[in-house]
Structure 1
Amino acid sequence: MKDTVLTIGACYGGLAVIFGAFGAHILKKKMNTETLKNFETGVKYQMYHALALVFISQFFAFTKTTESLTAFFFIAGTFLFSFSIYGLCLSSIGGKKLKFLGPITPLGGMLLFLGWFFLAISKVV
């Protein structure tokens, strides 16, 4: 489990760097300020949680349910939150915004919150 969490965290981190550069250099010319800001929010949250995953991969033994749930919620929440934002922003460029992704973003945010919640109680429970 430790190696899987580390690998996913490292992949999320690397992708956040690529997406951040893509936004700063390519999308800046194609998106309005608000949409670009939303895209950057997805990148920031992805990087924050990539770092959190790398951190917990080193400090958790993954012998407790709360530790595994923390990792699961960070992984799933990051994917749903950030990638739904990317989809919404990129699809808006062509004028065919994928509106079905809209409700997925707050679901991802709730999973991220649950990850932080389980991190907070991981040493107590």
Structure 2
Amino acid sequence: MTENCLFCGIVAGNIPSTQVASNERAIAFMDINPATPGHLLVVPRAHSTDLREADAEDLIGATLLAQSLVGRVIERLNADGANLLSCIGAEAWQSVFHTHLHVVPRYQDDPLKLPWHPTPGDMEQIQATAAKLL
């Protein structure tokens, strides 16, 4: 755990999140600035800044967890597809410097154009969507 890292705080349980899945190496929780309904983050439990320095076993755990969540969002949220995105560096839209994968459900008529500009979501809607993925 790295001090002052938002995602380390979430992994440690010191910062609240709406967790929907986990395994030995990673956790998944709802993004509080969702690009589309059901937007999730998959975060290795161990701190690394980005994919370049992440432990291979952590990446495997996070990727397998993301794979299972892609299936859930398509099936349970009636998404038409999904984006799996990892941002590496500020110029590539990385805003939290802890390795993470975005699982972004895509819907035929959604307005998302990459890059999106995060804005706070409705917490009740985020939590209701999370309940569908548990």
Q: TM-score range by the shorter chain?
A: under 0.3
Higher helix proportion (structure 1 or 2)? 1
Q: Which has the larger radius of gyration?
A: 1
- TM normalised by structure 1 equals 0.28
- TM normalised by structure 2 equals 0.26
